[in-house]
Structure 1
């Protein structure tokens, strides 16, 4: 299993829109991407424009299939209208011993 953290800074006044969009994307992922397990949206208590989406995937291949999909491209294109700067992400992989 891997976890991916997506870090965003949302333009002021677009916080609710970002949260609502997350809900729609989450529903889409659950219905359409076999390797997707779940995701949570977190908001900073010190800066309400900063968000983290923490997602769980069965494996790296499942995540890679998503990030090359048209759905991902559509979401990132839309996101450019409400996100400040460039989002970042980190992959956390569980290593089986």
Structure 2
């Protein structure tokens, strides 16, 4: 399993950004190898978002990103935010809950 972590700095309207990103997420969630997605927003800097997605493997993620349908959807995002994506492997994980 791999995790894609994408820091997005929004320089457009955040509501529009969230709507466009939701459409991309809907599309990606139907692709082979997709496992999960989360979107986080900074409380201190509300223009900064962190998106995480888990995929079975890097090749599945790469294939989904190179498809024409993905490229069409992501074009609208480029005018609203600056992405800084990278792919990570999990080295350590801890469980547990509060109290």
Question: Which interval holds the TM-score relative to the shorter structure?
Answer: 0.7 to 0.9
In 1, are the aligned partners of 2:27 and 2:70 still within 8 Å (CA)?
Answer: no
Distance 1:27-1:66 versus aligned 2 partners, 3 A rule: same
Q: Which residue of 1 aligns with 2:28?
A: 29
Q: Which residue of 2 aligns with 1:91?
A: 87
Pair 1:58-2:56 in alignment: yes
Q: Which residue of 2 aligns with 1:41?
A: 39
Unaligned runs of 5+ in 1: none
User: For the aligned residues, what is the CA RMSD?
Assistant: 1.6
CA distance in 2, matches of 1:28, 1:73: 11
Q: Which residue of 2 aligns with 1:77?
A: 75
In 1, are the aligned partners of 2:4 and 2:86 still within 8 Å (CA)?
Answer: yes
Structure showing greater Rg: 2
Unaligned runs of 5+ in 2: 92-99
TM-score (norm 2): 0.81
CA distance in 2, matches of 1:22, 1:80: 11
Pair 1:4-2:9 in alignment: no
TM-score (norm 1): 0.82
Q: Which residue of 2 aligns with 1:16?
A: 15
Aligned length: 91
